[in-house]
């Protein structure tokens, strides 16, 4: 693992830093969620105009053809500048790369460009009330009717569905086949009467995710991605991209929050308190290990061409450390951190979902146990 940047990498970072300094979107607007979302969407448009929205995509699809290290630099710099993630993050990190891997030329022509400009937002319709960790047991049905597929079922926890034009939808197209083999991956148009989006209010007070009620939605055959019956394979590509993309953004954000809590503790004269000092030291150590493990994951992809188990390890470590950090912040700040609407109460409450979203900690531990340590399978 070599942690020094090459000359082109340093040039890339400096160019991006200068661009972000000139084009920073400013503070997130307070108030309605929809307003904040529009602010992120406008910021993505600006990123796209500057050629920065999809740095890791090939140039032919509107990207910058960045290397993995440059892509990591992009997310690090975004976090360092305290700029938001682009609004269409699921389109850029999940839908786009999956369409590039499995899409026909027509699908690439139709779907990729509006992802980059945030003209068409994407959501991920995988989880169902009885299928989360065990995704392959999902029940949403797809039945062929002429040139269309007719889809009926329910999805849940669908982040950003209320803003989305398209959904990455996995449904059961063959009830006779073994459960992993009867699935198909569809690109579903959300703008139809048959798709109802109902927001779910989270502990933070935001409606970040939704329930989707799908009652005979129609999806044309040309919106099947990767072939009928191949849904499991295509979905795994989406899930692999989910863990690989954000590690650098998240580890820099964690470091920033830790620095802020350090300053708060210092301002309150708490650094001499051995218990506080001990917890700060522990969090500092974990933030540093996280940074180095994110780079180790990058080295593995560069060397072997695919993400190693580090993706599961960093997600597990980051989510637990972020929960410890936000709890620690509440201990340092006292009752202020428990006031509704306070930034620190938001951080504390939002962190609860970290160990669930994008794969629960228990599932990640199973992956590390089986694939890294070679322990016997849990089931």
Ligand X SMILES: Cc1cc2nc3c(=O)[nH]c(=O)nc-3n(C[C@H](O)[C@H](O)[C@H](O)COP(=O)(O)OP(=O)(O)OC[C@H]3O[C@@H](n4cnc5c(N)ncnc54)[C@H](O)[C@@H]3O)c2cc1C
Residues that bind ligand X (CB under 6 A): 123-124, 126-127, 132-133, 157-159, 209, 353, 356-357, 360, 362-363, 366, 378
Tell me how far, at minimum, the Cβ of 318 lies from ligand X, in Å.
14
Tell me how far, at minimum, the Cβ of 89 lies from ligand X, in Å.
10
How far is the C-alpha of 361 from the C-alpha of 93, rounded, in Å? Answer: 21
How far is the C-alpha of 222 from the C-alpha of 303, rounded, in Å? Answer: 36
Strand, coil or helix: what is 171?
strand
Tell me how far, at minimum, the Cβ of 374 lies from ligand X, in Å.
18
Q: Which of 18, 100, 122 is nearest to 56 (CA)?
A: 100
Under 8 Å between Cβ of 172 and 235:
no
Tell me how far, at minimum, the Cβ of 130 lies from ligand X, in Å.
8
Q: Which of 115, 98, 120, 371 is nearest to 224 (CA)?
A: 98
How far is the C-alpha of 287 from the C-alpha of 256, rounded, in Å? Answer: 10
Helix axes 310-333, 231-245, angle to 10 degrees: 50
How far is the C-alpha of 335 from the C-alpha of 345, rounded, in Å? Answer: 10
CB nearer to ligand X: pick between 302 and 362? 362
CB nearer to ligand X: pick between 20 and 89? 89
How far is the C-alpha of 184 from the C-alpha of 187, rounded, in Å? Answer: 10
CB nearer to ligand X: pick between 126 and 248? 126
How far is the C-alpha of 79 from the C-alpha of 64, rounded, in Å? Answer: 19
Helices H / strands E in the chain, number of each: 12, 8
Q: Which of 77, 208, 242, 347 is catalytic?
A: 242
Tell me how far, at minimum, the Cβ of 313 lies from ligand X, in Å.
16
Tell me how far, at minimum, the Cβ of 24 lies from ligand X, in Å.
26
Q: Specify whether 60 is catalytic.
A: no
When CB distances to ligand X are compared, the closest residue is 132
Bin 143: left if φ > 0, else alpha if -120 < ψ < 50, else beta: beta
Tokens of 196: 């109802």
The values of phi and psi at residue 139, to 5°, are -115, -10
Q: Which residues have a catalytic role annotated?
A: 242
């Amino acid at each position: 693992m070599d942690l020094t940047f090459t000359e082109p990498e340093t040039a890339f970072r400096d160019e991006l830093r200068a661009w972000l300094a000139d084009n920073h979107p400013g503070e997130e607007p307070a108030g309605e969620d929809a307003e904040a979302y529009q602010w992120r969407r406008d910021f993505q448009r600006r990123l796209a105009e500057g050629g920065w929205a999809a740095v890791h995509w090939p140039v032919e699809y509107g990207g910058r053809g960045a290397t993995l290290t440059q892509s990591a630099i992009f997310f690090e710099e975004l976090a360092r500048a305290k700029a938001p993630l682009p609004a269409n993050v699921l389109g850029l990190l999940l839908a786009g790369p999956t369409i590039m891997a499995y899409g026909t030329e027509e699908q690439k022509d139709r779907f990729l460009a509006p992802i980059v400009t945030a003209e068409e937002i994407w959501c991920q319709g995988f989880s169902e009330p009885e299928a989360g960790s065990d995704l392959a047991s999902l029940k949403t049905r797809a039945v062929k009717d002429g040139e269309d597929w007719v889809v009926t079922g329910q999805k849940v926890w669908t982040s950003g569905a209320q803003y989305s034009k398209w959904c990455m939808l996995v449904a059961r197209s063959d009830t006779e086949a073994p459960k992993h083999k009867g699935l198909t991956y569809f690109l579903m148009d959300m703008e139809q009467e048959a798709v109802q989006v109902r927001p779910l209010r989270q502990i933070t007070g935001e409606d970040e995710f939704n329930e989707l009620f799908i009652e005979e939605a129609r999806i044309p055959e040309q919106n099947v991605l990767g072939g009928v019956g191949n849904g499991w394979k295509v979905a795994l590509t989406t899930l692999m991209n989910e863990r690989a993309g954000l590690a650098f953004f998240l580890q820099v954000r964690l470091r920033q929050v830790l620095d802020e809590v350090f300053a708060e503790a210092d301002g309150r004269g708490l650094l001499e308190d051995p218990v506080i000092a001990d917890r700060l030291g522990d969090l500092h150590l974990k933030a540093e290990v996280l940074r180095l493990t994110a780079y180790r994951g990058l080295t593995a992809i560069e060397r072997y061409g695919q993400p190693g188990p580090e993706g599961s390890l960093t997600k597990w470590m980051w989510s637990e450390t972020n929960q410890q950090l936000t709890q620690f912040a509440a201990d340092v700040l006292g009752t202020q951190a428990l006031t509704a609407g306070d930034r620190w109460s938001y951080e504390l409450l939002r962190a609860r979902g970290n160990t669930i979203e994008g794969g629960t900690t228990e599932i990640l531990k199973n992956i590390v146990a089986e694939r890294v340590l070679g322990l016997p399978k849990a089931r």
